[in-house]
Chains A and B, each alone.
Chain A
Amino acid sequence: MDCATFSSWLENRDTYDLSEADRAMKHAVQCAKCKDLLQKDEELDRFVAKMFQYEMMDKRMYGKIDRSLGESGRKRGIKGGLAAAVAMVAVVALFFAFTPSPGSFSSMDEFGRYIVQEHQNHGRITPLFEKIDNVEGWGRDNLHKSFKVNTLPAGNLKIVGGRICTIKDCEFAHLLYQDGKEIYSLFVVSEGEIGFNLEPGRMYSLTVAGVELHVWQKQKMVYALTS
């Protein structure tokens, strides 16, 4: 090993293996300049190591960290609480957004669509319909509401039967009438359940999917008759 190689080894000795170190040491023994350089580098190394020695940490740091951890815990608690509250509000909002509010129809049109659909699905004589002798009594017993069907806008209708059905979470009395071969459905529901207002005594007529529908309100009850 020559002096240049020795210097290179000295500067990069971390990357060399032990055999190279042996060769370098042998050279240093024979070369006074390189031996001197090695001693100086080792002195410098010791000096550097000394500068890296631990410095005393301010003992108040323990207290500061204690407080930081406490605040962190509280912040996490607050954050957790806030997150839980926000999540709860979101869940409730989603619940109300996607769950139809009970008994609430947004408009007469929507009400009409649901009524006609129910008529088309079930408006025929089936065992579902209970035979009714006294509509008023049946209504009181089954719908728990008092309603009277004295006159109907359509002609000579005879009651066939009745059932209780639920449309958009509203309980309706579904009464089936017959006029000759024609079957009519009369739906009766409490005024407070439908979600929109009707002018008392006024007859509303609309046609939904080819079915004519008459709607009116009388004594806090809403009536809808298909024809």
Chain B
Amino acid sequence: MVTLRRVDKKRFKELTYPHLEFLYNVALKYSGNKYDAEDLVQETMVTAYSKFQQLRDDKSCRAWLFTILRNHFLKERKQLLRRPYLDDGSSYLDYIRDEKSSGFVDRIVEKDANKKLHRVLAKISEKFKSPLILYYMEEMTYQEIAEYLDIPIGTVMSRLARGKRYLKKGLLQPSSRKINKGKIVQMMGLVMQL
């Protein structure tokens, strides 16, 4: 019995540890900070270890781990997800239309872009966030995302389109500090989703 567990642990590590960086980065995008991300990865790995016998196909290990991590995130952040995303109904293209072409992103996105990315992602529902992470971070195709999230490809396409809109707009919108200095963004309070 002891020998069997040791062998299982070895195999578990061989199969799962190569995906730790991936899990950590997904967790980072979900949670927005490294401490929560590390907790999330640890919880994921402990759960995965206890349910290792449920993994039927070694090739699907990455997707299986992703699903466990996502479930942990959803479970723990359930209440946050109920918070509606507020949008003024304008297009993100409005922010870039009048900008000079080259290097405009650096000019309008704040210096610490990563922090802003996490702030914006935190306001986006998981159903849009997950496709975004898999698309931008893993460069997955629609089909691959659909398989990972177990949703129809059409749903992936529409969620990705909406997710990109929310994300780009969030990044381009000036922060509240800048609004106070004079840039005007009227929040119409429209509930866009959820």
Residues of A at the B interface (CB closer than 8 Å) are: 7, 10-15, 36-37, 39-41, 43-44, 47-49, 51-55, 57-58, 61-62, 64-65, 68-69, 72-73, 76
Q: How far is the CA of A49 from the CA of B160 in the complex (A)?
A: 14
Say whether chain B's binding surface is mostly helix, strand, loop, or mixed.
Answer: helix
Question: Measured between C-beta atoms, what is the minimum distance from B17 to chain A in Å?
Answer: 7
Any chain A CB within 8 A of the CB of B117?
yes
Inter-subunit contact B93/A51 (CB<8 Å): no
If A14-B164, A65-B42 touch, whether A54 touches B21 (CB-CB below 8 Å) is: yes
Inter-subunit contact A52/B133 (CB<8 Å): yes
Category for how many chain B residues contact A: 35 or more
Q: How far is the CA of A15 from the CA of B154 in the complex (A)?
A: 8
Inter-subunit contact A40/B41 (CB<8 Å): no
Residues of A contacting B137 in the complex (Cβ-Cβ under 8 angstroms): 52-54
Question: Measured between C-beta atoms, what is the minimum distance from A202 to chain B in Å?
Answer: 61
Task: Sample 15 A-B pairs with CB under 8 A, ordered by A number.
Answer: A7-B91, A11-B93, A13-B161, A14-B161, A36-B101, A37-B93, A37-B96, A37-B97, A41-B93, A44-B105, A47-B109, A54-B21, A61-B41, A69-B12, A69-B46
Question: Measured between C-beta atoms, what is the minimum distance from B106 to chain A in Å?
Answer: 8
Which of B41, B92, B136 is within 8 Å of A52, CB to CB? B136
Question: Measured between C-beta atoms, what is the minimum distance from B30 to chain A in Å?
Answer: 12
Q: How far is the CA of A72 from the CA of B52 in the complex (A)?
A: 13
Question: Measured between C-beta atoms, what is the minimum distance from B57 to chain A in Å?
Answer: 22
Any chain A CB within 8 A of the CB of B5?
yes
Residues of B contacting A58 in the complex (Cβ-Cβ under 8 angstroms): 34, 38
Inter-subunit contact B41/A44 (CB<8 Å): no
Inter-subunit contact B50/A72 (CB<8 Å): yes
Inter-subunit contact A55/B28 (CB<8 Å): yes
If A40-B96, A52-B137 touch, whether A62 touches B20 (CB-CB below 8 Å) is: yes
Residues of B contacting A65 in the complex (Cβ-Cβ under 8 angstroms): 20, 41-42, 45
Inter-subunit contact B25/A55 (CB<8 Å): yes
Inter-subunit contact A61/B136 (CB<8 Å): no
Residues of B contacting A76 in the complex (Cβ-Cβ under 8 angstroms): 50
Any chain A CB within 8 A of the CB of B113?
yes
Any chain A CB within 8 A of the CB of B123?
no
